[in-house]
Structure 1
Amino acid sequence: MKQKKWYLVGLLLLGIVLFGLTHPIQTEVAERRDGLTEYRDVVQWFRKVTPDELMAKQEAGQDFYLYIGRGTCPYCRHFVQQLKKVKADFYYIDSENKTEPLSRFRKFYNIKYVPYFGYFKGGQQEKVLKITPQTTSDDIQAFCD
């Protein structure tokens, strides 16, 4: 009887330890999934383009703002929450899948990290917003004005 009692106590303690170890992981996965869904909900309204389409716009001398990001990037998920409040037209490239045209475009303009937000004028990269976790929609709007 005593041995059975200790066996049950051991199982209970093991269950508590296992729950304690796996609960933060489950929470993190759920938060990441929710963040990715929210990111997709926001960017669905952005004007999505391909690197080849952007190159054509540059060759035509068009001026434009460009956002490059991906849903699996926590900084991008935060940035789009600010970007959606900005009153400016801009193009969006999803950098989740690394294609050869995207790699060439990023290499040509020395775009090493996402999120990226820049302004192109007359076929040239004119300026780039320095994005930090503290970047606000007001900062982005001031960059665009």
Structure 2
Amino acid sequence: MLNFAEAVKDFERVTAEEAQKRIDSGKKFILFIGRSTCPFCRRFAPKLNNVAKADHLAVAFLNSEDQNDLKAIQDLRSAYSVNTVPGLLVAQNGQIKVVCDSSLSEEAIRDFIA
């Protein structure tokens, strides 16, 4: 199984401001919010990586411990009810869905993103 750094290395790193702009664009946007020090994130990230690779999905990653962006991250998480990490947000055409569940299977992740 991949470690956290390996699992997120192909994800696009974004700031909270960049993530909000992508959400506002209306285009499909998949955002993983997490941190390397979270055991649940370390469990979830490899599964998301496998789904992203298999389905050729672009996934953005927001490090919830980014000290330079903490206030904006908190605001974004609050706005979309991302109460815990790992958080998976999918936005498209003004519709936003969020799940915070590290136990999701790859199949469940795929279904959520679809």
Tell me, yes or no, if the aligned pair for 1:57 and 1:123 is still in contact at 8 Å: no
Once the 2 structures are TM-superposed, how far is the Cα of residue 112 of structure 1 from its aligned partner?
1.1
In structure 1, what is the Cα distance between the partners aligned to 2:23 and 2:50?
26
Corresponding residue number in structure 1 for 2:88: 117
TM-score for the superposition, normalised by structure 2: 0.81
1:91 corresponds to which of 54, 60, 73: 60
Higher relative CO (Cα under 8 Å, sequence separation at least 6) belongs to 2
CA-to-aligned-CA distance 1:5-63 (integer Å, 9 cap, x gap): xxxxxxxxxxxxxxxxxxxxxxxxxxxxxxxx921122111111111111222333222
In structure 2, what is the Cα distance between the partners aligned to 1:79 and 1:119?
16
Corresponding residue number in structure 2 for 1:21: none
Structure number, greater radius of gyration = 1
Structure 1 residue runs of 5 or longer lacking an equivalent are 1-36
Count of aligned residue pairs for this structure pair = 107
Corresponding residue number in structure 2 for 1:22: none
Structure 2 residue runs of 5 or longer lacking an equivalent are none
Secondary structure of the corresponding residue to residue 84 of structure 1? helix
Residues 41/130 of structure 1: CA separation in 2 closer, same or farther (3 Å cut): closer
Q: Does 1:129 align with 2:94?
A: no
Higher normalized helix content (fraction of residues): 1
Q: Find runs of 4+ consecutive structure 1 residues off by over 3 angstroms.
A: none
Corresponding residue number in structure 2 for 1:76: 41
